[in-house]
A and B are shown apart, each in its own frame.
Chain A
């Protein structure tokens, strides 16, 4: 019973060490939301911001299937505008021209790495294949 102090002390030290990341997170400021500039001149995305924030990947996959599987290339958005369904042509080429300051910034923050860019290259010189008509 003489070692009780040592045992409890060591136990406390280990407990603090193991839970250290959690303490640190509590102590530090809440993570800053990424600064996502809206494209200059654009007034609205193809759907409300809340929808896009939560479901843009689903919409993109729907676009992909419409274009590639069904051969349909235009989309009528929630404001009645006719948009060419194209990832690098419309989303990047005609709207969010600087992908690094929008898509990438948020994806880095959220820890997602879409593989789309492996194929959908965004060459600076040839961006506008479609765009909002």
Chain B
């Protein structure tokens, strides 16, 4: 006896309902509302403290980032960029006139659509569930595709052995060798033990706000709701998650 069309539809339909229910239940049961971590920088507070390097020093010390004098070999996780270069905005005269000629703090944007991740041939760089774009130094083969793909210059390649240039005393965070790419990891090793990113903690102006962009009650969301914020080169479609409050 061949099952009729009616039977087929009934079986197929109930299978579809069951799998949809399983997916819904799975999401509910895991109970995890995924976080989307990001950062907001109050640019006015940041430029007010002209010449301040607290965030850079704290980050570079925490992660054993070398201070290589030769700019061709430079390695940096967070640094200062002239405002016009970092945040080119339309109608700059009316919107950001006060900020021209000043330096702003820049680092990895932990993009929602990260070009570095797309080009990495070994999946050594990837975006975690919470949005942190990170690098697995063990898996990096040093091809530097990601360095070329990142439109923000956020990634540094170790052209020379970095360790002689790491100021002592060393921090517990593993150092790197020649031949791997590195960048800001949003302090995932500190987040894992309930600490804030080192730069946020070190900023004397409290100009850096870190938090969950999916939580409307978070400090970062409240700041972004109140003030006008821009991002670095949004026209590229990378969807950066570091906001500059101007």
Q: Which residues of A contact B (CB under 8 A)?
A: 64, 68-69, 71, 73, 87-89, 93, 118-121, 123, 125-127, 129
Secondary structure type dominating chain B contacts: loop
B136 — nearest CB in chain A belongs to which residue?
A: A68
Question: Would you call B138 and A125 a contact (CB within 8 A)?
Answer: no
Question: Would you call A73 and B192 a contact (CB within 8 A)?
Answer: yes
The CA of A121 and the CA of B128, in the complex, are separated in Å by 26
Q: Contacts A71-B188, A71-B192, A73-B192 given: A126-B136 contact, CB under 8 Å?
A: no
Secondary structure type dominating chain A contacts: loop
List the 9 closest A-B pairs by CB distance, nearest first: A129-B172, A123-B170, A119-B174, A118-B177, A120-B174, A126-B172, A68-B136, A125-B169, A121-B175
Task: Give how many A-B residue pairs fall within 8 Å (CB-CB).
Answer: 38
Least CB distance, A35 to chain B, in whole angstroms? 29
Contacts of B238 in A (CB 8 A): none
Least CB distance, B161 to chain A, in whole angstroms? 9
Contacts of A87 in B (CB 8 A): 174
The CA of A125 and the CA of B169, in the complex, are separated in Å by 8
Least CB distance, A85 to chain B, in whole angstroms? 11
Q: Contacts A64-B138, A69-B136 given: A119-B176 contact, CB under 8 Å?
A: yes
Q: What are 24 A-B pairs with beta-carbon distances under 8 A? A: A68-B138, A69-B136, A71-B128, A71-B192, A73-B193, A87-B174, A88-B172, A93-B172, A118-B177, A119-B137, A119-B174, A119-B175, A120-B174, A120-B175, A121-B163, A121-B174, A123-B169, A123-B170, A123-B172, A125-B169, A126-B169, A126-B172, A127-B172, A129-B172
